[in-house]
Structure 1
Amino acid sequence: MKKSALKWLTTVPVAVALAFSLAACGGGTGATSSGKPTNALAGSDQKSLDKYTTKDVTALDKIDTSKLGLITPGTITVGTLSDAPPNIYIDKSGKFTGYDNELLRAMADKLKLKVEFKSTDFSALLSQVANKQFDVGSSSISTTDLRRKTVGFTNGYDFGYMAVVAKKDSAVKGFKDLSAKTRIAVVQGTVQDDYVTNTLKLEPVRFPDYNTAYANLKTGQVDAWVAPSQQATGQVKEGDGTAIVESVVNTQNFTAYAVSPSNQPLIDALNSALDAVIDDGTWAKLTKQWYPDRVTPKDWTPGSKAAKLP
């Protein structure tokens, strides 16, 4: 596989040019090309994550919710996305929903706390959580060593796949077909951005959100989209002329909720609530609802090491 950088297009439509501009000035914790290939997903493999997963959790009745450092007492203020079904999106009624957000609602119920969701771009989310503009970040966030320098994380509540989406008649049939000649869409600041830039050593076309990235694939402005498999599944529809051409567990990593690294009490409380919704069957119910065809790996479980699926 070639590792040289993608040359910028000499002529690009306004939508793509705008995405380039947004990527250039955006924040994020993401991809900056280095001199040699690096493992952008370092710290997101199952063995590494074992050291971050807590042995057990505090009993719910021992948690003082008045001492969680919340922006608004009694309410968890959550930064999330509006366009990434089935995990995080706004439905037709204007409600923030999706697997990640509904699970967080159930966890908040265990703590007898309210939840207020606010929309943001992923490229800004982690820095906003670190600066305490949000109490929590909810966005299927893969936990990596690089991201742990910015935010703290709860125990894992899900695991991640990575996908390549392309036109059905495209020569791109998987990761092996990505090269310097491929216009590769990613959402800025995501693990996919890091992976394409720092591991594959290719220069992707960065977009501010999933809808824009996928729209540019459908219109042929880019050749492929490297995306989280969950979001790819939520975007690709019959009649679009596109397909998920490859979907793999790049690392059997976990996704978690992001919290300011200085707010350990909130991390501990959320870990307790996560175990509670695992123990009472809510996690399994929501997982089946939002991922009806997905099989959970036998050697992976959510929550603390003490959590047991019913």
Structure 2
Amino acid sequence: MTASSTRRTTATRSRLGAAGAIAVAGALLLTGCGDQTNGGKGSSSASGRTSSAPLFSKLPKTIQDKGVIQVGTNAEYAPMEYQEGGDIVGVDPDIAAALAKKLGVPFKFTSGSFDGLITSLNSGRYDVAISSITDTKARQQGLDDKGKKLGPGVDFVDYFTAGTAVYVQKGNPKKIGSVEDLCGQTAAVQHGTTYEQLLQKQSKACTDGGKKKITIESFDNDTEAQTRVKSGGAVAGVNDYPVAIDLARKADGGKAFEVVGEQVDAGPFGIAVNKDNKQLTSALEAAVSAIIQDGTYKKILDKWGAQSGAIDKAAVNGGK
């Protein structure tokens, strides 16, 4: 996301938000606020039926014929995905462009609300969702944070790993050292993320230990949460580690925020795919492995300063 708008978890987004919130059938469909096509078709025809790309034949025929992979995202999480000059840019769009070269069809990103992504994917509006989404068992199974079945769930092709981080005003006026120090304090977070779950879990630990609960202020987008911390209305915000680091480095020239403590609850980010589309899942897994093996993946992470999230090989449903 941008410096002013950094997803996603106890799965660890990180942004990566409450499994139930983004899996509930009937949730609002993503309202597009911007789109961007990443990658190319190589020598594929206009219909998408032929291509010299090495993994084109692995794609489902519907994708081959359509000639594009439609992607739902929430472009608010620099450096993972954010909007710049009308385009959606960042780690995830660059990875998608690299995957496109292997698969022979471009990825077209459309940005909207994070908590509607999985519902929109399962409704058929998108072929995949790529948005720093933490791969968790609950999301795979379509469960909420209490284990209630809310939807069919999704499969994930894991391509990155990240934990959750706490960020505060520059200078750390309340001397917060970790999420455990937030007992009795106010914290801001984006609604529907796994790091919102992290705060809820920690708040219960606070009260169980005889301390005051955390006052959790949840916002529809992360920009609002950041603004709340910047103004002093909340003593801290919680976000994906790479997003929090980027925010601290860039917001107001590095003068607005700082990250405290270490990242916690590290887990994989995954490309979400409808469970009925096993062939697309398999093709994406092969493509992620291919860009790791040929060095393209490392170059992308180096470009964005996201090396700490590198994985050695692709996996399907590796989250816990």
How does the TM-score come out when normalised to structure 2? 0.70
Percent of aligned pairs with the same residue? 25
Task: Return the letter of the residue paired with 2:289.
Answer: D
State the partner residue of 2:314: 303
State the partner residue of 1:29: 19
TM-aligned CA deviation for residue 96 of structure 1: 0.9
Task: Return the letter of the residue paired with 2:71.
Answer: V
State the partner residue of 2:67: 74
Task: Return the letter of the residue paired with 2:279.
Answer: P
5+ residue gaps in structure 2? Answer: 1-16, 22-53, 143-152, 205-213
State the partner residue of 1:162: 164
Please tell me whether residue 177 in structure 1 is matched to residue 181 in structure 2.
yes
TM-aligned CA deviation for residue 131 of structure 1: 1.8
In 2, are the aligned partners of 1:74 and 1:114 still within 8 Å (CA)? yes
Please tell me whether residue 143 in structure 1 is matched to residue 145 in structure 2.
no
TM-aligned CA deviation for residue 268 of structure 1: 1.1
**Aligned residue pair count:** 244
Once the two structures are superposed, residues 84-120 of structure 1 have per-residue CA deviations (whole angstroms, 9 ceiling, x without a partner) of 100011112x111110121012112211112211111
State the partner residue of 1:99: 91
Once the two structures are superposed, residues 37-95 of structure 1 have per-residue CA deviations (whole angstroms, 9 ceiling, x without a partner) of xxxxxxxxxxxxxxxxxxxxxx8264144244x8x811111111222100011112x11
Alignment of 1:85-96 (within 5 A): 85-92=78-85, 94-96=86-88
Question: Cα RMSD between the aligned structures?
Answer: 2.4
5+ residue gaps in structure 1? Answer: 1-26, 32-58, 306-310
State the partner residue of 1:153: 155
Task: Return the letter of the residue paired with 1:154.
Answer: F
In 2, are the aligned partners of 1:65 and 1:111 still within 8 Å (CA)? no
TM-aligned CA deviation for residue 295 of structure 1: 4.1
Task: Return the letter of the residue paired with 2:180.
Answer: K
The CA distance in 2 between the partners of 1:295 and 1:199, in whole Å, is 25
After superposition, the Cα gap between the structure-2 partners of 1:254 and 1:124, relative to the gap in structure 1 and judged at 3 Å, is same
Task: Return the letter of the residue paired with 2:187.
Answer: I
In 2, are the aligned partners of 1:154 and 1:270 still within 8 Å (CA)? no
Greater percentage in strand:
2
The CA distance in 1 between the partners of 2:202 and 2:258, in whole Å, is 24
Structure 1 residue corresponding to 2:110, chosen from 107, 118, 122: 118
The CA distance in 2 between the partners of 1:192 and 1:135, in whole Å, is 26
After superposition, the Cα gap between the structure-2 partners of 1:132 and 1:28, relative to the gap in structure 1 and judged at 3 Å, is farther
After superposition, the Cα gap between the structure-2 partners of 1:121 and 1:247, relative to the gap in structure 1 and judged at 3 Å, is farther
Task: Return the letter of the residue paired with 1:149.
Answer: Q
Please tell me whether residue 270 in structure 1 is matched to residue 284 in structure 2.
yes
How does the TM-score come out when normalised to structure 1? 0.72
In 2, are the aligned partners of 1:87 and 1:140 still within 8 Å (CA)? yes
In 2, are the aligned partners of 1:153 and 1:267 still within 8 Å (CA)? yes
The CA distance in 2 between the partners of 1:200 and 1:147, in whole Å, is 22
The CA distance in 1 between the partners of 2:261 and 2:127, in whole Å, is 35
